[in-house]
Amino acid sequence: MAITFALIGNQNCGKTTLFNQLTGSNQHVGNFPGVTVEKKEGYLRNHKEITIVDLPGMYSLSPYSPEEVVTRDYLIFSPPDVLINIVDATSLERNLYLTLQLMELDLPMVVALNMMDEVKASGGTIDIKLMSELLGVPIVPISASKNQGLDELMRVAMVVAGQKNRPATRDFCVGDVHRAVHSISYIIEEEAKAARVPVRFAAIKIVEGDEPMTRLLNLREMETDIIGHIIEDMEKRLHMDRDAALADMCYQYIEKICAQVVIKENETREQIRSVKIDSVLTNRVFALPLFFAIMLLIFWLTFRVIGAFFSDLLSYGINAFVSGADVVLTNMGINPTVHSLLIDGVFAGVGSVLSFLPIIVVLFLFLSLLEDSGYMARVAFVMDQILLKIGLSGRSFVPMLIGFGCSVPAIMATRTLPSQRDRKMTILLTPFMSCSAKLPIYALFTAVFFPQHKTLVMMALYLMGMIVAIVVAFLLKKTIFKGPTVPFVMELPVYRMPALKTVLLHMWQKAKDFLTKAFTIIFVATVLIWFLQSFDLHFNLVSDSSKSMLAAVGRLVAPIFAPLGFGDWRASTALITGLTAKEAVISTFAVLLGASNGLSLPQMMAHLFTPLTAFSFLTFTLLYMPCVAAMAATKRELGGSLAALGAMLFQTGVAWVVAFIIYQVGRIWFV
């Protein structure tokens, strides 16, 4: 029989780590809130009949962001067989607030008390049996990161699924809140049953002033008036508003439970260590300089030391393979056109991109270490003050941070933002963060034109993307997106040693994505580019690519880029093909320049650009519209083709203006 277990808990409680352990999935785990932006599904290891659903992290069932609305609708209208609530044992009081709300849904439920290894290591003790009796739900102590207690958790979940055990009735309402909830329950009973919503859960949401629930129940005007009077009377008696009254009631109940079940409470070693580290890393003076110093070190190790070494090694191997294949094809007497397609097209294009794989893997090794250690959450906290001044909150930093990996999940991650204004602004700004697909372009250009200053140029490009985003956000705040900024509240996770398995999975995912793109999108783009530059408009084979149909198309576009310093048709063609995948820019240059006059690709690049025009080209590449996959994500999140087209034109316009300024100022400065 098919069974579904849904994992739900606060952000950063170890939920996605548990999902990976149970399913063997390589779903990315990040040690900052908001990694999961939509539900993920997988099968329990060796049990295809059991589906595990990983729901977005949330602190309550009162939805503020689109992802929280989706989660609550899923729990109400498509309920799983068992709800597995992951609770961080090191922050029991805060986590149990969501637990009480989940119990109101009256679904079969198990509590997984995670990070018990840290509690024990600090000398703390929690009475699991008593806690289970007080809450009326089974509780299983686990450590998801160390794979401890998971077999017992699945055994208990299976029992609960078979017996359909629901939480024991626990009416933790007291006093005036109790009277308000129960009075409203009687009023809305018929509407709640018709809407298939637990009556008590609906009543509590009505007390909160939950608009989605109010719309769902479709209450009559008379009922709405009576409910309004009940809530007004409750607020007057308690001298606090409805939200504060409910929260106060819940936390009073939670405090009573914790007072009985927490036998010995100590700060964990991780918490003590985190406070000491934060005194430096989140210091008002040192935080940003330290962040930039860390990033500079990472770029130096990636582009000058580790990544560069393995990239050169792989490039040597690819060149040897291509040379060998060239000899074999020549000896076999292969048709010259087919020979050119394979050597000058496929091998040159795909091979030129593949040689940068080590750089991408090494860079994301370091970024994964920073992310999983908990440091990146601190960067978001520090950046909040800067982002507030440009009309965004620190919460927008999380999608932007993801954007350094790939714009597609970054744009999707804007769902975590509660404000539509913030979401739209962040979607517009996220592509300015340099995604990993642009790394091969940077690596090639810096190696050819800035060999002694690779690290500084790379750092300058990343900083430029952030600076442009800040300036554009400030202008948008003053014009199109006027309005207040939503306050930023974020839990800072404790610093933890990154799990080797998690880091390796992250690296493998990046390598797999890169290789998949190289042998699909870039392969197709390379063949198409070879064809267009090998034949003219009458489909005659040409020996001079400047007479090809590709050159004809490129010359139509080239005048647009002439004021930026790179008006050659080959440069404009590379930018166009870069819309399929940014790595295709390199494969395009490899096909168009690699075999010309017997010179190598770097030598031909040096004939096409100067250091100034090369930096102008890099600037435009950094900022112009993202790839087609990111465009599709933008269309989906903004809700229409026109809005997405406007975003693409806006980003490309910004890229043109910035590259124009750099080139024109550079001409004056260096002439």
11 in a structural domain: yes
Kindly tell me if the per-residue pLDDT of 491 is higher than 80: no
Tell me what pLDDT residue 32 has.
Answer: 47
Same domain, 398 and 439: yes
Stretch 38-55: mean pLDDT:
85
Same domain, 193 and 151: no
What is the C-alpha to C-alpha distance for residues 472 and 573, in angstroms, rounded to an integer?
A: 27
What is the C-alpha to C-alpha distance for residues 277 and 469, in angstroms, rounded to an integer?
A: 29
DSSP 627-641: -HHHHHHHHHHHTSH
Q: How confident is the model at residue 597 (pLDDT cuts 50, 70, 90)?
A: low
Q: Is 306 helix (H, G, I), strand (E, B) or coil?
A: helix
What is the C-alpha to C-alpha distance for residues 490 and 488, in angstroms, rounded to an integer?
A: 6
Residue 573 and residue 562 in contact, taking contact as beta carbons nearer than 8 Å = no
Domain that holds residue 204: 175-264
What is the C-alpha to C-alpha distance for residues 55 and 37, in angstroms, rounded to an integer?
A: 8
φ/ψ of 13, rounded to 5, equals -95, 0
Q: How confident is the model at residue 298 (pLDDT cuts 50, 70, 90)?
A: confident
Residue 172: closest CA among 129, 217, 213, 135: 135
Same domain, 139 and 240: no
Tokens of 249: 């009631």
124 in a structural domain: yes
Same domain, 301 and 185: no
Average pLDDT of the residues of the chain:
84
Domain final residue pick, 163, 186, 211: 163
φ/ψ of 83, rounded to 5, equals -100, 120
H or E element at residue 263:
strand 262-264
Strands (E) located in 375-519? none
Domain final residue pick, 231, 264, 297: 264
C-alpha distances out from residue 102 to 146, 218, 239, 247, 262, Å: 26, 23, 27, 15, 22
Same domain, 102 and 184: no
Residue length of the chain = 671
282 in a structural domain: no
Residue 461 and residue 622 in contact, taking contact as beta carbons nearer than 8 Å = yes
281 in a structural domain: no
Same domain, 250 and 300: no
Domain final residue pick, 229, 264, 299: 264
Stretch 518-523: mean pLDDT:
80
C-alpha distances out from residue 150 to 19, 157, 480, Å: 11, 10, 50
Conformation bin of residue 121: beta by default, left when phi > 0, alpha when psi is -120 to 50: alpha
What is the C-alpha to C-alpha distance for residues 223 and 226, in angstroms, rounded to an integer?
A: 5
Kindly tell me if the per-residue pLDDT of 411 is higher than 90: no
Report the C-alpha dihedral over residues 644, 650, 656, 660, rounded to 10 degrees.
-170
| pLDDT tens per residue across span 608-641 | 899 999 999 999 999 998 887 788 888 888 877 8
pLDDT higher at 476 or 131:
131
What is the C-alpha to C-alpha distance for residues 630 and 581, in angstroms, rounded to an integer?
A: 10
Same domain, 56 and 199: no
Stretch 112-136: mean pLDDT:
89
Q: How confident is the model at residue 265 (pLDDT cuts 50, 70, 90)?
A: low
Kindly tell me if the per-residue pLDDT of 66 is higher than 70: no
Count of domains observed in the chain: 3
What is the C-alpha to C-alpha distance for residues 294 and 462, in angstroms, rounded to an integer?
A: 13
Tokens of 338: 């087919």
280 in a structural domain: no
Percentage of the chain exceeding pLDDT 70:
93
Same domain, 462 and 585: yes
Query: How much is the pTM?
Result: 0.70
| pLDDT tens per residue across span 196-234 | 888 888 898 888 888 888 888 888 888 889 999 999 998
